[in-house]
Amino acid sequence: MVKSSIIVILVASLISCNCSPLTSPSAPATNQPAAGPVKSWDFSKSHSTSDIPWPDSELSNYYEMAVNQRVHALFENSLQLDHFVDRVYFERWKGRLIFVQFMLEPETVDEAASGARDLARKWNLSQKPVDEWLADVQSGNLRTAATMRNALRPQVSLEILNSFDSKKPFYISLMISWYDSEFR
């Protein structure tokens, strides 16, 4: 009886971790939507600081939030972000968000290039800086890359930055801004 109970527990454990007795747990693909908790924000109609959990104790105009989970964020013009996010930075002015920066998880060169191309395409940004960055990195020139669009609202900037992790040396930063002349 005890032996069969242990086998049932072992099988249940293997099923719950999505692995067989001979493999390790499988991890979700980088920056792909995965099962589990999702932090959702809708910035498509409002940019109020009440739309995010800005702590009452945070008096500065800047707020950093450790997220470490999948984020689904909606923006005007049907734009959206659906990725695993490490950190988010917010900036406000008089109760309105004027800046949100999503720092995605560290990635390999190929993952960062693929993710940056995909985001550039979805956000109507030039992919040329990403392609140039990839060619440079593949030839041994480790550097960062940026592509941005300021002519439309919201203003968007996509960067590939160094993570200083030897196995996953880059991460993507996606910055969305509603900075207008009224904030100057």
- The predicted structure's pLDDT at residue 94: 86
Other Cβ atoms less than 10 A from the Cβ of 128: the count is 11
**What's the mean pLDDT in 101-119?**
97
Beta bridge partners of 114: none
Stretch (H or E) spanning 158: strand 155-162
First to last CA, the chain: 74
Stretch (H or E) spanning 103: strand 96-104
- The predicted structure's pLDDT at residue 72: 96
Query: pLDDT tier at 32 (50, 70, 90 boundaries)?
Result: very low
- The predicted structure's pLDDT at residue 116: 97
- The predicted structure's pLDDT at residue 99: 93
pLDDT in tens, 158-182: 999 999 999 999 999 999 999 875 5
Residue 150 vs residue 90, higher pLDDT: 90
* Cα 120 from chain centroid (whole Å): 13
**What's the mean pLDDT in 117-128?**
95
**What's the mean pLDDT in 22-29?**
33
Beta bridge partners of 158: 147, 174
- The predicted structure's pLDDT at residue 23: 29
Supply the pTM of this predicted model: 0.77
